[in-house]
Amino acid sequence: GKVAHFGAGAFLVIQLISVTRFITWLNDCCRSELNLKRCHMQVLVVSIVTYVGSILGIVLMYVWYAPTSACKLNILFITVTLVLVQLMTFVSVNSKVKAGYLAPGLMGIYIVFLCWSAIRSEPHTEICNRKAEVATSADWLNIASFVIAVIVVVAATFSTGIDSKCIQFKSAETESEDDDIPYGFGFFHFVFAMGAMYFAMLFIGWNAHQEMEKWTIDVGWASTWVRVGNEWLAAITYIWMIVAPIVWKRRQVGSSSACA
């Protein structure tokens, strides 16, 4: 049980790093000199859609999951999400970072989705969860969550398995064989095992001592806090990924000046 909790948590970290890396890579690709003019309109449209979607999602969460001032925890979750969206945008468009609007827009949609899924994971007895009152026993969102979870496990496993080839421990003189595969066997199976542990946690709500209702997936306070932590960590990871190069560059310049 403890090993499965650790493996599932590690899989969530790998998943959010994979998603963040993909978003930053897509943003850099669209902002490159080769694609800047060609993708300008598409980037503008996607940025506007993602920002409108993020704000709309936050407003709907306030209406559905924080109908009264007594729902302090949900208000906290949603408000922190709003602050994180604004913070990622502010850092991205800062004159020293210049990451544009596409990446923070996509990350905004991502963390809003994580916040929504976290609140939906709250026990259905929670009075602040209005949507739970009208949910049927076989809610289509539960089915959709199940399908998305399968896709996420498979996609994250393959993507992180392939990314592991970027880390080379061999000598640079060693040449790849003709039948070399684009991913590492060991890392691939390791990530897939953690994905299986994560999938098991969805069925028990991250709590081995908790009884799950029929047709419910990933419901419980443990699930809620895991998803909230995943959301906050995703925002911090994104901000660090775009700020880190500037920090390291300043340190290198400072050390060079000190040596001179």
| Non-local CB neighbours of 238 within 8 Å, separated by 6+ positions | 20, 23, 24, 88, 103, 104, 107
User: 12-16, 65-69, 110-114, 123-127: lowest mean pLDDT where?
Assistant: 123-127
Q: How far apart are CA 48 and CA 55, in angstroms?
A: 11
- Predicted confidence band of residue 109 (pLDDT cuts 50, 70, 90): very high
Structure tokens belonging to residue 150: 């399968």
- For residues 240 and 22, the answer to whether their CB atoms sit within 8 Å is no
Q: How far apart are CA 228 and CA 114, in angstroms?
A: 7
pLDDT(257) > 80? no
Comparison of pLDDT for 171 and 151, the residue scoring more: 151
pLDDT of residue 178: 44
Tell me the per-residue pLDDT of 95-107, one tens digit each, with 9 for 90 and over: 788 888 899 999 9
Q: How far apart are CA 188 and CA 107, in angstroms?
A: 26
Tell me the per-residue pLDDT of 42-64, one tens digit each, with 9 for 90 and over: 888 999 999 999 999 999 999 98
What integer is the mean pLDDT of 151-157?
65
For the entire predicted model, the pTM comes to 0.78
